[in-house]
C-alpha cells in the first residue's frame, strides 16, 4: 500500500510538471506570435506610407471659379496630413502643388468636421495653374525587370527627368514588355504623356507622383515605350543636347570581338559644355549594352561614352548616381 501511495504521488507530481510545462510553452508561443504579428503590421504599415514634402493635386481638382479645394476624409493625402503633419493641431499651412503645374508654399488649410481637408488657394489659384518648368534631362533606360522598374520609377521622378524612354535591349529579357505595369502602353517611337493612357498606366502615374511628392517639385516624366534601342535613339534626338551613354571602362586599347575599337569611356564631367541646353542620358541593362552593335549605335548617333569607374554596379545604383551627377553639372552651368 505504501508503494501504491508513493507511485500515485510520483505520477501526480509528474503530471503537474507536464501541465505546467505545457502552459508555459503555450504562453511563450502566444507572446512570440504576438510580437511577430506586431512586427509584420509595422512593416506593412510603413510600406504603405508615402512621404510627402509637397501635397500634389491633379489639374482637375483645382478651379479658378472656386478658391477652395476639398479632399475627402478617405483621400490618401487627407489621411497623411491627419496622421503625420497635424496630429492634434486644428489648422496649419501646407506646401501644395498641381502635377506638371505651379506650386504654393503656404496654402492655408484646415480639417473640417466631416474629416475632409479644405485647401484655401484663394488668389494664388492662377499661380497653381501655370505650367511647371521641365527638367533639362531626358533618359533612355533599357527595360529592367518589373519589380525593379517599380522601385526605380519614383527615383527617376524624384531626381527629375523630362522624357523617359523605356526600350528593349539585346541584353535584356523581352518578356519584361508583358509586365502588368506596362500592359496597356503601346510600343511607339513618339512621346505620350502617361496621363492620357488607360488602366495599368494609373499605377505608373502614381509611382511618378510619389517621387515628385518626395522631391517637392511638381513636374513628372513623360513616357515612351520603345521596342529597341534604335527606335529610342531616333525618338529622343534633339538639337543642342549633350548625349551620354553609360558603359563600363574596359581599359586602354580595348577592341570588340570583330576587331573594331571602342572609344574609352570618360567621367561625366569631361563632356559638359555650357552651350548645351539639355542632356540625354542612356543607361543599359544589368549586363550592359551589347558590344559591339548597340555601342556602335550610340557612336553613330553622336553619343559620348561615360563611366562611374571600375566598380561593377547594379542598374538602380548606377542610374541614381548618374542622374545626380548630371543634375549637379546642370545646376553648376546655370
pLDDT in tens, 276-328: 889 999 999 988 898 889 999 999 999 999 999 888 889 999 999 999 999 99
Which ranges constitute the DSSP H helices of 185-257? 201-215, 229-236
pLDDT at 48: 47
- How many other C-beta atoms lie within 10 A of the C-beta of residue 293? 13
* Residue spans in the chain of domains classed CATH 3.40.1280.10: 137-333
Closest CA to 282 of 84, 88, 143, 77: 143
Which ranges constitute the DSSP H helices of 160-312? 201-215, 229-236, 293-300
HSE on the CB side for 213, CA within 13 Å?
19
Classify the phi-psi angles of 244: left when phi > 0, otherwise alpha if psi is within -120 to 50, otherwise beta: beta
Kindly report, residue by residue over 69-79, the tens digit of the pLDDT: 999 999 999 99
Give the domain 137-333 fold. Answer: Alpha/beta knot (3.40.1280)
Cα end-to-end distance, the chain, whole Å: 104
Pair 292, 257: CB distance under 8 Å? yes
C-alpha distances in Å from residue 261, one per residue of 127, 252, 290: 54, 10, 14
Class of domain 55-128: mainly beta
Rounded to 10 degrees, what is the CA torsion of 230, 233, 235, 239? -150
- Per the listing, cell 561593377 goes with 312
89 φ, ψ to 5°? -75, 150
What's the predicted TM-score (pTM) here? 0.80
- Burial annotation 92-113 (CB, 10 A radius, 16+ → b, else e): eebebbbbbbbbbeebbbebee
Q: How far apart are CA 152 and CA 179, in angstroms?
A: 15
* Residue spans in the chain of domains classed CATH 2.40.240: 55-128
Partners of 139 in the beta sheet? 164, 281
Give the residues of the chain that fall short of pLDDT 70.
Answer: 1-12, 21-51, 87-91, 187-201, 255-260, 334
pLDDT at 43: 38
Q: How far apart are CA 173 and CA 262, in angstroms?
A: 25
Please return the burial class of 52, using the count of CB atoms within 10 Å of its CB with bins 0-12, 13-18 and 19+. buried
Q: Which three cell numbers stand for residue 109?
A: 488649410
Partners of 97 in the beta sheet? 56, 103
Q: How far apart are CA 325 and CA 212, in angstroms?
A: 19
Element counts in the chain: helices (H) and strands (E): 8, 11
Amino acid at each position: 500500500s505504501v508503494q501504491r501511495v508513493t507511485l500515485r504521488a510520483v505520477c501526480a507530481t509528474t503530471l503537474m510538471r507536464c501541465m505546467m510545462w505545457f502552459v508555459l510553452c503555450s504562453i511563450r508561443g502566444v507572446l512570440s506570435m504576438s510580437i511577430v504579428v506586431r512586427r509584420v503590421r509595422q512593416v506593412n504599415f510603413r510600406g504603405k506610407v508615402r512621404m510627402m514634402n509637397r501635397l500634389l493635386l491633379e489639374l482637375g481638382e483645382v478651379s479658378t471659379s472656386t478658391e477652395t479645394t476639398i479632399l475627402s476624409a478617405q483621400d490618401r493625402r487627407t489621411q497623411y496630413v491627419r496622421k503625420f503633419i497635424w496630429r492634434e493641431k486644428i489648422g496649419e499651412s501646407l506646401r501644395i502643388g498641381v502635377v506638371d503645374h505651379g506650386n504654393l508654399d503656404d496654402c492655408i488649410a484646415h480639417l473640417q468636421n466631416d474629416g475632409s481637408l479644405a485647401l484655401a488657394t484663394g488668389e494664388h489659384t492662377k499661380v497653381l495653374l501655370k505650367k511647371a518648368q521641365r527638367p533639362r534631362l531626358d533618359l533612355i533606360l533599357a527595360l529592367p525587370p518589373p519589380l525593379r522598374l517599380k522601385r526605380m520609377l519614383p527615383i527617376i521622378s524624384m531626381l527629375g527627368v523630362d522624357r523617359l524612354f523605356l526600350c528593349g535591349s539585346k541584353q535584356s529579357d523581352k518578356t519584361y514588355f508583358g509586365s502588368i505595369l506596362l500592359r496597356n502602353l503601346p510600343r511607339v517611337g513618339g512621346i505620350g504623356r502617361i496621363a492620357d493612357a488607360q488602366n495599368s498606366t494609373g499605377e505608373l502615374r502614381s509611382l511618378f507622383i510619389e517621387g515628385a511628392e518626395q522631391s517637392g517639385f511638381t513636374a513628372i516624366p513623360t513616357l515612351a515605350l520603345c521596342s529597341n534601342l534604335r527606335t529610342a535613339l531616333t525618338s529622343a534626338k534633339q538639337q543642342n543636347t549633350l548625349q551620354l551613354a553609360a558603359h563600363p571602362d574596359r581599359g586602354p586599347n580595348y577592341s570588340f570581338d570583330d576587331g573594331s575599337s571602342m572609344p574609352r569611356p570618360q567621367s561625366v564631367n569631361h563632356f559638359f559644355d555650357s552651350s548645351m541646353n539639355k542632356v540625354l542620358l542612356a543607361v543599359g541593362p544589368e549586363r550592359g549594352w551589347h558590344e559591339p552593335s548597340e555601342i556602335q549605335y550610340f557612336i553613330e548617333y553622336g553619343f559620348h561614352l561615360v563611366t562611374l569607374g571600375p566598380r561593377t554596379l547594379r542598374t538602380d545604383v548606377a542610374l541614381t548616381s548618374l542622374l545626380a551627377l548630371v543634375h549637379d553639372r546642370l545646376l553648376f552651368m546655370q
